[in-house]
Structure 1
Amino acid sequence: MVEQQNSSSKVQALYELCKTFTPSGVPPSSRAIQKLCYLLDTVGPADVGLREENRDDDRGNSVARWDQSITYLDIYKCDSFTMCIFCFPTSSVIPLHDHPSMTVFSKVLYGSLHVKAYDWVEPSRYQKSKGPGYPAVLLAKLTVDKVLTAPCGTSVLFPKSGGNLHCFTAVTPCAVLDILTPPYREDAGRKCTYYHDYPYSTSSIGNGDELSDIKLDDHAWLAEVETPDLYMRQGAYTGRTVKV
């Protein structure tokens, strides 16, 4: 999946833009976001040392999605940002998860990817557990539910908007270039938490609240779940190493 050749200078250009980011959790300026998105919009597989997969999977279409591994490629990481690539086989999934106090840029390099994303409803609406087997849930609004097919523009999520909680499902073999600023860091309060979404219904509130403005089809209750077993393997990035 990774070509043994140097990528173009676009990787270095991405680094030069990202090195102005800080580990504070404050989103980059609108100008910095605009410049980075403009550059990311021009990045293709060859620019990061990848070639597009025209076939489905080495093991055929009959492989169950939970038995397929996603390849993770590190390009660069520091306290301020992480730049990486995820290469997905068809039907593989990164389950619903959050990005606390983070801004994330995602660019589909090839193939098609379904993205489903939520933001928390504010002020928070929650339902306490009714007992064993009934998890506590928080109300979230669906913000993205679509398929992204390369070539396409860059998606950006923010700490409290743009779909901070998202799930990726590969419609075809695909690759995504991600830039996270700042990166996950548990001791700084940026722990990755996974969720399961439950359809919203007025009968599920159970606390006397009247949410007349809530639509059934664009809201859901999210329950925190244990970190799932992710079938992900570390790959070797063979594109151009950035100069710091």
Structure 2
Amino acid sequence: MTKNNSKVQALYDHCNNTFTPSTSPSPQASQSICSLLDTLGPADVGLKEELSDDDLEHGNFGINQLDRAERRAQPITYLEVYKCHSSTMCIFCLPTSAVFPLHNHPEMTVFSKVLYGSVHVKAYDWVEPAQIQETKGPSSFPVRLAKLSADKVLTAPCEATVLYPKSGGNLHCLTAVTPCAVLDILSPPYREEPGRKYSYYHDYPYSTFSAGNRAFIETPDGKEEDYAWLAAIETPDDLNICDGKYAGPAIEL
């Protein structure tokens, strides 16, 4: 049998030799995975880079404003490249203005690579030890303090990023600035087990629930605008994700 020498196969082989279900990869291993991810482009995983909104508006394609609005209403497409006991590799394709709401990655390390387009990333890490408050009112709910880790736009080609269980922006929200595709490697994969709770969140400015509780702001590494209170919410009704078919090189597991 001919050996699969694709870039995505090499990435899988490296991840399979690196990840274990119970430990995070070392900094050296993480850098090695990021270096491999940085060599990937859309064609390496069977994708064709989508046209930008400017191309659609100004090119000779006969696209009108109604078509553009319909384009923005398209769902996020999920492509699973592989899934095994220690990791998952998948691709999210987002149309312009699509939002993947703020969510967590409990006890997970996640490598991300923007394959094409631009995506805005807003990410937080929990403040430790945990600072939790009960809000007041007829429908009170708990909020937990988090610190902003990233608030930026990533545009391909750009370097891969990595988040860890307690650092690097473990809770993040993605908003498509243009049509974009993001490849993720998650270890361990999402699965239900004790101690791992998957949640979506709404973030509130620090000042919303912080009257009379500003002692931590005296720490030297933070400003008030760097913090937010996060409240766990149900899966947003408008989150629309559909399954697509991965069309890149097959993975030999």
The letter of the residue matching 2:210 is: I
TM-score by length of 1: 0.90
- Alignment map for 1:1-244 (pairs within 5 Å): 9-20=6-17, 21-24=19-22, 26-56=23-53, 60-63=67-70, 67-201=73-207, 204-206=209-211, 208=213, 210-213=215-218, 214-229=222-237, 230-244=239-253
CA distance in 1, matches of 2:41, 2:197: 30
Once the two structures are TM-superposed, the CA of residue 64 in structure 1 deviates from its matched residue by 8.3
More helix by share: 2
CA distance in 2, matches of 1:10, 1:64: 31
CA distance in 2, matches of 1:179, 1:109: 13
Once the two structures are TM-superposed, the CA of residue 95 in structure 1 deviates from its matched residue by 0.1
* Aligned residues of 1:91 and 1:172 also touching (Cα < 8 A): yes
CA distance in 1, matches of 2:96, 2:11: 28
Once the two structures are TM-superposed, the CA of residue 70 in structure 1 deviates from its matched residue by 0.6
Q: Structure 1 pair 223/152, CA: closer, same or farther in 2 (3 Å)?
A: same
* Aligned residues of 1:8 and 1:48 also touching (Cα < 8 A): no
Q: Structure 1 pair 95/208, CA: closer, same or farther in 2 (3 Å)?
A: closer
The letter of the residue matching 1:44 is: G
The structure whose Rg is larger is: 2
The letter of the residue matching 1:240 is: P
CA distance in 2, matches of 1:112, 1:78: 29
TM-score by length of 2: 0.87
The letter of the residue matching 1:221 is: W
User: Which deviates further from its counterpart, 211-220 or 30-39?
Assistant: 211-220
* Aligned residues of 1:127 and 1:205 also touching (Cα < 8 A): no
Secondary structure, aligned partner of 2:44 = helix
The letter of the residue matching 1:129 is: T
CA RMSD of aligned residues (A): 2.0
User: Which deviates further from its counterpart, 116-125 or 7-16?
Assistant: 7-16
User: Which deviates further from its counterpart, 48-57 or 74-83?
Assistant: 48-57
Q: Structure 1 pair 217/208, CA: closer, same or farther in 2 (3 Å)?
A: closer
Once the two structures are TM-superposed, the CA of residue 55 in structure 1 deviates from its matched residue by 4.2
CA distance in 2, matches of 1:183, 1:19: 13
Once the two structures are TM-superposed, the CA of residue 103 in structure 1 deviates from its matched residue by 0.2
Secondary structure, aligned partner of 2:90 = strand
Once the two structures are TM-superposed, the CA of residue 34 in structure 1 deviates from its matched residue by 1.2
CA distance in 1, matches of 2:52, 2:5: 25
CA distance in 2, matches of 1:218, 1:205: 13
